[in-house]
Structure 1
Amino acid sequence: MKFEVLVVGAGLAGSTAARLFAEAGKHVLVIEKKRHIAGHCYDYKDENGITVHAYGPHIFHTNNKKVWDFVNAYSNFDNYQHRVLSYVEGRYVPFPINRDTICDIFGLNIPTYEVEDFLENEAKKSKFNNPPINFRDVIVSQIGERLYELFFKQYTIKQWGKDPEELLPDVAKRIPVYNEPWKLGQKDVNIRW
C-alpha cells in the first residue's frame, strides 16, 4: 500500500492529525517508538481491573467548541472540576485564578465569558511598566494589583527569596489563568481517534 501521509508519534497531536488526514481520504501511516499509542494520555487496566494512568492523570480543558466536540466524539471523560485551593485572607479559594476565584474573592457572580473583561479592568486600574521589566509587571498586567497582592507577591518572595520586582519577566510566563468553559478529567482515555 502506498501512503500519502506519514505521522511520527501516536500521542494526542499525532493521533489527531492521523485521524483528520484519514477522514479527508488520505492513506496514513503512523509510527510510534513506544509499545503503546496515546502518548502521555496512555492508560491500562491492571490485574485487578483498575485503570492506571501510566504517566499520571491529566486534565483536558479547552475554550474551543470544535475541539471539545471532536474529543468527546472519541473519548470517555468524567465531568471534572479542578480543585486546587490557596489560603487567602483566612479562607481557601480556587487556584490557579479562574471565575470561581474571582467570584469568591470579590463577592461577585459573573459568567465565565466576563472573566477576561474583569481581569482587563483590574489591570487597567493598576500601575506597571509596559513593556514589563520584571515578574511583578507581567502578573499585574494580566490580573491587576489586587489579585497579584493576594496570590503572588508573598508566595513569590517565599519561593524565590527575592522581591518579584527583582525577578525577570520570563519567570512569570508559565503561570496559568484558566478561563476555559469545558474541563474534563481523564477516564479510560486511550486515544480512540
Structure 2
Amino acid sequence: MKNVLVIGAGLSGVTVARQLAHRGCRVTVIDQKNHVGGHCFDYEDSTGIRVHKFGPHIFHTSNKRVTDWLSRFTEWVDYEHRVVAELKSGEFVPFPPNLNTMKFIHSDDIINTFYRPYSEKMWGVTLEEINPNIFHRVPMRQDFEDRYFPKSSFQKFPKYGYTNLVSEILSHKLITVKLGTPFSKEMMFNYDFTFNSMSIDEFFDYKYGMLPYRSIRFHHKVYQVEKLTIFPVVNYTNNSSFTRRTEWKNFPGHGFNGDLTLVTEEEPCDFRDNDFQRYYPISDPKGENRILYNRYKSEIPSNMVFIGRCGMYVYINMDQAISSALSISQKVLLEWGAV
C-alpha cells in the first residue's frame, strides 16, 4: 500500500486521489483553502441562490471517458451555454459574434468592439501581444450558431453543484482530507509519492524567477429586482475595468428568489495584486514563460509529479484537467504495478 500526498483539492487533485484510493493507495489530500473544489467551489448564498465563488464554471466536453467517470459521482442538469455582449447602445448581441451580431456591428469593427477591449483587460497587454491561440477558443462565426460551445456534445451542470460533486469523489475510506493546511516540504518525507497542483515556481522558491499569472477580483452585488436580464453571462464592450457579469439565478438549478437577484462582476488583474491568487497561466507569443516552466520542470523530484493548471502551467478546461489527471494517475499506477 503506497502512502500518497496530493497537494490541492481541485478537480485535478481529487481525480488523482480517487483513482489511487480505488487501487489501494492511502491518500492524504491537503489544501490551504478552507473548502474543497478549488476554483470550481460553489455554495448557496443566504439569498437562496447558488454562486460559483471564483466565476462561472460551465462543464462541457466531448470526452466520454471523462463524463462516464464523473457520472459515478453526480446527476446532471442540462444546460447549453450562450453568452451575449452588451453594446454601448444597450443592445445585447450574441458572442462569439455570428451573423446576427453583424446586423448591429460591421464585420470590420468586430475585433475592436469585442475582442480588443475584453482581451486587453483580461490579459493586461495589447491585443497584438496576446498569443493568437487564445482567440481560437472563441472564434467568429459565419452562421447563426449562438451556443458558446457548439462542438461539445456534453454540456451540463452537476445537479447538486460542484462542491457536492468533489465531496462525493473524495468520499472513500482510504482518502483523508485536510483543509486550511498549507504545504511545507517537510511533509514529503512522510509519503512515498506526491502529486502537486501548486505553481511549480512557488515549490522551487522562485529561484529562477516568477511565472506570471492573471487573476480576477470578483465583485458580488445584490439588486432588489427579480432579474436584471434573462441572460446568465453578459460580456462588456465598454472601457471599464470589468470584463463581464454573471446573474446566477439565470443558470438552471441555481435557485430562485423573487425579490432580488445576485450578480457577480469580474475585474481582471495581475495575480500579485490579488493576494497571489493564480487563475490563468499566460501563454506569450515567444514562449518565454514555457521556457521558464521547463527549467523548473527539469528539477522535479523523482517521487513527485505536477498536475493541473498551475502545476503544468497550461490554460485547460475542467474536462481537460480531469482527463489529464486520469491519464497521469494511470501512468503512475502502471509504474507501481498497481493496475
TM-score by length of 1: 0.56
Aligned residue among 156, 162, 167 for 1:189: 162
Query: 1:73, CA displacement in angstroms?
Result: 1.8
Deviation of residue 153 (structure 1)?
4.9
Q: 1:157 to 1:16 in 2, by over 3 A?
A: same
* Aligned partner of residue 69 in structure 1, secondary structure: helix
The answer (yes or no) to whether the contact 1:77–1:189 under 8 Å persists in 2 is no
User: Does the residue aligned with 1:185 lie in a helix, a strand or coil?
Assistant: strand
Specify whether residues 86 and 160 from structure 1 end up closer, same or farther in structure 2 by C-alpha distance, changes over 3 A only: closer
Secondary structure at 2:162 match in 1: coil
Give the 3 Å change call, closer, same or farther, for CA 59–186 of structure 1 in structure 2.
farther
Q: Which runs of 5+ in 1 are unaligned?
A: 106-149, 162-166
Partner of 1:77: 76
Distance 1:95 1:157, change over 3 A: closer
CA-to-partner distance for each residue in 1:99-152, whole Å, 9 max, x for gaps? xx6xxx5xxxxxxxxxxxxxxxxxxxxxxxxxxxxxxxxxxxxxxxxxxxx997
Match of 2:50 in 1: 51
Give the ranges of 4+ consecutive aligned residues of structure 1 lying more than 6 Å apart after TM superposition: none
> Structure 2 vs 1, CA of residues 78 and 33 (structure 1 numbering), >3 Å: closer, same or farther?
same
Give the CA deviation at 1:47: 4.0
Cα contact 1:84–1:94 (8 A) shared by 2: yes
What are structure 2's unaligned runs of at least 5 residues? 87-91, 100-104, 118-126, 139-148, 170-339
Q: Specify the code of the residue in structure 1 equivalent to 2:82.
A: R
* C-alpha deviation, 1:185, in angstroms: 3.0
Match of 2:9 in 1: 10
After superposition, the Cα gap between the structure-2 partners of 1:154 and 1:37, relative to the gap in structure 1 and judged at 3 Å, is same
Distance in 1 (alpha carbons) for counterparts of 2:47 and 2:130: 46
What is the identity percentage for the equivalent residue pairs of Structure 1 and Structure 2?
A: 38
Please tell me whether the aligned partners of residues 58 and 186 of structure 1 are also in contact (alpha carbons under 8 angstroms): no
Deviations 1:38-90 (A, max 9, x none): 11121223445443322233101111101011122213432111112479xxx
Tell whether the 8 Å contact from 1:78 to 1:186 is kept in structure 2 after alignment. yes
| Aligned match of 2:132 | 172
Query: Which structure has more strand as a fraction of its residues?
Result: 2
Rounded Cα–Cα distance in structure 1 between residues aligned with 2:106 and 2:40 = 31
Matched letter for residue 189 of structure 1 = Y
Superposition map of 1:90-129 within 5 A: 95-96=95-96
Q: Counterpart of 1:36 in structure 2: which amino acid?
A: H
- Superposition map of 1:12-27 within 5 A: 12-27=11-26
Q: CA deviation at 1:184?
A: 1.4
3-state SS of 1:74 partner = coil
The TM-score, its normalising length taken from structure 2, stands at: 0.34
For the residue of structure 1 that corresponds to 2:72, the secondary structure is helix
Per the alignment, residue 36 of structure 1 pairs with 35
CA root-mean-square deviation: 3.5
Count how many residue pairs are aligned between Structure 1 and Structure 2: 137
Sort the Cα spacing of 1:93 and 1:24 in 2 relative to 1 into closer, same or farther, 3 A: farther
Aligned counterparts of 1:170 and 1:151: Cα–Cα separation in 2: 23
Determine the C-alpha separation between the residues in 2 that align with 1:151 and 1:173: 24
Contact 1:42 1:54 in 2 (8 A): yes
